């Protein structure tokens, strides 16, 4: 079986079953889905594995995670605020040192 050269670049030999060489194949693959974006993609600053959502420096997943944590924190804050609403009388008596003259 004679080796055939890639019809595209005519440099590399084809392996059985290939119609173009792997170099051209990966070049084509790279060329295909290039979304036209004016800005370069910023990667998530948290996981660094997914592109960040526009206007944020986190990816969608990390944003969701952050939101969930923020909500949990908000709830915790609310609980704390509720507790703070109830006056703690024990602490007040200590502050009767107004002996200014």
Size of the site for Zn ion (CB under 5 A): 11
- Does 70 bind Zn ion (CB under 5 A)? Our answer is no
Compute CA distances 101 → 21, 34, 97, 98, whole Å. Answer: 96, 79, 12, 9
Between residue 22 and residue 61, which ones bind Zn ion under the rule CB under 5 A?
24, 44, 46-47, 59
Q: How far is the CB of 70 from Zn ion (least distance, A)?
A: 15
Choice between 26 and 80, CB closer to Zn ion = 26
- CB hemisphere CA count around 16 (13 angstroms): 2
Choice between 47 and 79, CB closer to Zn ion = 47
- Does 9 bind Zn ion (CB under 5 A)? Our answer is yes
Compute CA distances 73 → 51, 61, 64, 78, 80, whole Å. Answer: 26, 18, 14, 8, 10
Choice between 42 and 46, CB closer to Zn ion = 46
Q: How many residues can be counted in the chain?
A: 101
| Cα first-last separation, the chain | 111
Residues contributing to the site for Zn ion (CB under 5 A): 6, 8-9, 12, 21, 24, 44, 46-47, 59, 62
């Amino acid at each position: 079986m004679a080796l055939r050269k890639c019809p595209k670049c005519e440099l590399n030999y084809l392996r059985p079953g290939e119609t173009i060489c792997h170099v051209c194949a990966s070049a084509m693959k790279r060329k295909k889905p290039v979304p036209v974006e004016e800005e370069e993609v910023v990667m998530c600053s948290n996981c660094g594995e997914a592109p960040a959502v526009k206007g944020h420096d986190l990816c969608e997943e990390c944003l969701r995670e952050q939101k969930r944590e923020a909500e949990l924190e908000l709830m915790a804050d609310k609980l704390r605020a509720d507790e703070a609403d109830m006056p703690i009388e024990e602490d007040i008596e200590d502050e009767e040192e107004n002996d200014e003259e």
